[in-house]
Structure 1
């Protein structure tokens, strides 16, 4: 049961590039946004080492450092940033109700969802040990660091096929590890992989362990599913491409989403199916999943929230009066 109640004009859920960018724009528009960071303040980028593809950092930047810059900029314009986790929502009427840490209710005229997505991992201890030191879940983000080297990628869907061909342009050789005896990717993507000479496909192959020297990846131990024979493939990079899961479970039953859980927004908009609720970043983007595109949609969400508040000022004021009198 909620013990505290507070009303805000603009509530932002999530603190990655999308959430912080939304906060910067909302704060500059004098919406006095309140942002709850979630369990991982800064999102996925806080678990990334070098970021070299974000404009404005000509020498590159460490992921945690970049997110700290985002946070400081959002705070500079007056964003109220709080550590907390949204545990439930009620979008049945205005203002929207959001419960934080199971005890505090925040009512909000607008809600911007920037909860992001989490990469699916194999679940190996060595995978987490070398995460950021040769292990990655984003070829576009980190492939450059393995230029001219041998790498491995695990996965069999369109994403894995696309990332394998991307890596093949940069790397000396790409070992593609496929658990079954066939791809799940579309025929077009399969053909692209099959016709790329420096991609070697290992069918019926299970990843057993990421091998390293204590600091960086040196290989991957794999086993043949049929013979159980083990071998170590020498690589300096290991990419996991078995999919992402958007962090949207708490919105089930309220917001439209696809079968994976990505929030569905209206065309050319961040507006969800619920009035005054907007979604941005990787929570609604299953295609690009880059920091720069997340930031772009965060900007869009804040601008749309501002326009919505201006257009609905009288209605929202009345709904707050009704809520207070309940």
Structure 2
């Protein structure tokens, strides 16, 4: 009887073992699922790309990693998202996008990508949980700010509590308050000049005995009464007001290490770190990166123009598409160099914007948030499209979106002139004169909607490697804003969809 028991047990174990081997073999030799596109990225670019690709009918594998939202998720107040008149945080924006993306038919995995390799007709993506395959890849991994090591202590990580890395994003929150900026290059100089229009005082902390910024920036900084440059100075410790036993007037106390005769500490309401960023591109083949590790694209580096007239490129047939909003922001960023030397002419505006589009409203919003005087003339009125798709709203009525944008720019201080008659423009003695129904307006600079037919070759979102598309902060020269990142993600998905029409095997 004992012998029969062991015999039966042995047979059961043997059958189980053989069955397991057969299952393992079946899995090992099963044909892996091939996705149309794999999206890598956890910020606005990644979410926007995965949503747009799914809307194009593609099967999408979205690899986000664990740091959902990236840098934008640590922005405490995001008041420059076009079409959102109420303040929200960066984390709230990402939650909106995530919620919207989860409603689409695609797969999201919190996996890290270790490498990408071309394998026949497919790309093999090696992750911490195995290998996945896709016909095309959209890389939107983002970038990380370079934080000086002397202030990177365990209890003192710059994660958004009055410590920021972008004046364009957060500077507006510190009207008439003292701020400090760390850095000595062009980025730090630009941020210092921007904050000089907003803050009561700007302290620029430069580690060396000279600025690396170009000469025009140095000259503007030195003659600006609101800017104090502290050479050979470093912030070696940061203490928040809540940590003090006694009451102080400002949010932060910076302990300084300086070779110059200066106080040992500096009290400010905000600190901006402008020491550059590092793209998160370790998993990308070096042939697809530039010397600094940024993703390469097929477009030449963008050259900033100093023209007093700029046009918002027309890239979408719908003037209130998110891509047009992005173009408006990029146009304003180009114009900032002109606005550094502001006009003293009486009754002049720093910038006049003529156009009725998401780009015109977005450019007006960004200019006003930097304390420039702005006049917006929504002319001519564009034919109303019934609706438009945004990655956080979903499908939204164009008139509703337009009303939200108008409320947002008006609240920011933009003068809006509704003009039903012909607008007459002339350029004389370095100033633009624009005749409207409310009289003539004089300005040094002018932004206009491009009137030509929509045109977008999508070359700036295409990698040198066929089948790989790029978007977001990891692309050299990108404007590091949530709206531009989301638009880039959408355009990368459009480029991938177009490419797959001719390069995806029949399925």
* Partner of residue 244, structure 1: 277
The structure 1 residue matched to 2:145, chosen from 119, 131, 134, is 119
Distance 1:39 1:144, change over 3 A: same
The two structures have a TM-score, normalised by structure 1, of 0.89
* Partner of residue 266, structure 1: 298
1:28-177 to structure 2, matched below 5 A, reads 28-91=55-118, 93-101=120-128, 103-123=129-149, 124=151, 125=153, 128-129=156-157, 131-177=159-205
Secondary structure (helix, strand or coil) at the match of 1:67 reads: helix
* Partner of residue 267, structure 2: 234
Distance 1:233 1:272, change over 3 A: same
Confirm or deny that 1:200 pairs with 2:228.
Answer: yes
The structure 2 residue matched to 1:212, chosen from 240, 252, 265, is 240
Distance 1:287 1:184, change over 3 A: farther
Give the Cα–Cα distance (whole angstroms) in 1 for the partners of residues 147 and 286 of structure 2: 27
How far residue 286 of structure 1 moved from its aligned partner, in angstroms, is 3.4
How far residue 167 of structure 1 moved from its aligned partner, in angstroms, is 0.7
Give the Cα–Cα distance (whole angstroms) in 2 for the partners of residues 150 and 126 of structure 1: 26
Give the Cα–Cα distance (whole angstroms) in 1 for the partners of residues 166 and 154 of structure 2: 18
Contact 1:127 1:210 in 2 (8 A): no
How far residue 180 of structure 1 moved from its aligned partner, in angstroms, is 0.6
Q: Give the total of aligned pairs.
A: 311
The two structures have a TM-score, normalised by structure 2, of 0.58
Contact 1:206 1:225 in 2 (8 A): no
* Partner of residue 38, structure 2: 11
Unaligned runs of 5+ in 1: 321-326
How far residue 15 of structure 1 moved from its aligned partner, in angstroms, is 1.7
Contact 2:156 2:238 in 1 (8 A): no
Structure number, greater radius of gyration: 2
Secondary structure (helix, strand or coil) at the match of 1:99 reads: strand
Pick which of 84-93 and 26-35 moved more: 84-93
Contact 2:241 2:253 in 1 (8 A): no
Contact 2:472 2:478 in 1 (8 A): no
Pick which of 202-211 and 298-307 moved more: 202-211
Give the Cα–Cα distance (whole angstroms) in 1 for the partners of residues 259 and 282 of structure 2: 34
Secondary structure (helix, strand or coil) at the match of 1:57 reads: coil
Contact 1:7 1:108 in 2 (8 A): yes
Give the Cα–Cα distance (whole angstroms) in 2 for the partners of residues 92 and 192 of structure 1: 53
Secondary structure (helix, strand or coil) at the match of 1:282 reads: coil
Secondary structure (helix, strand or coil) at the match of 1:297 reads: helix
Unaligned runs of 5+ in 2: 1-27, 244-249, 300-458
How far residue 285 of structure 1 moved from its aligned partner, in angstroms, is 4.1
Give the Cα–Cα distance (whole angstroms) in 1 for the partners of residues 212 and 501 of structure 2: 47
How far residue 50 of structure 1 moved from its aligned partner, in angstroms, is 1.0
Give the Cα–Cα distance (whole angstroms) in 1 for the partners of residues 184 and 494 of structure 2: 39
CA-to-aligned-CA distance 1:192-211 (integer Å, 9 cap, x gap) = 22232211000010111112
Give the Cα–Cα distance (whole angstroms) in 2 for the partners of residues 235 and 185 of structure 1: 24
Give the Cα–Cα distance (whole angstroms) in 2 for the partners of residues 311 and 127 of structure 1: 53
Pick which of 274-283 and 42-51 moved more: 42-51
Pick which of 144-153 and 32-41 moved more: 32-41
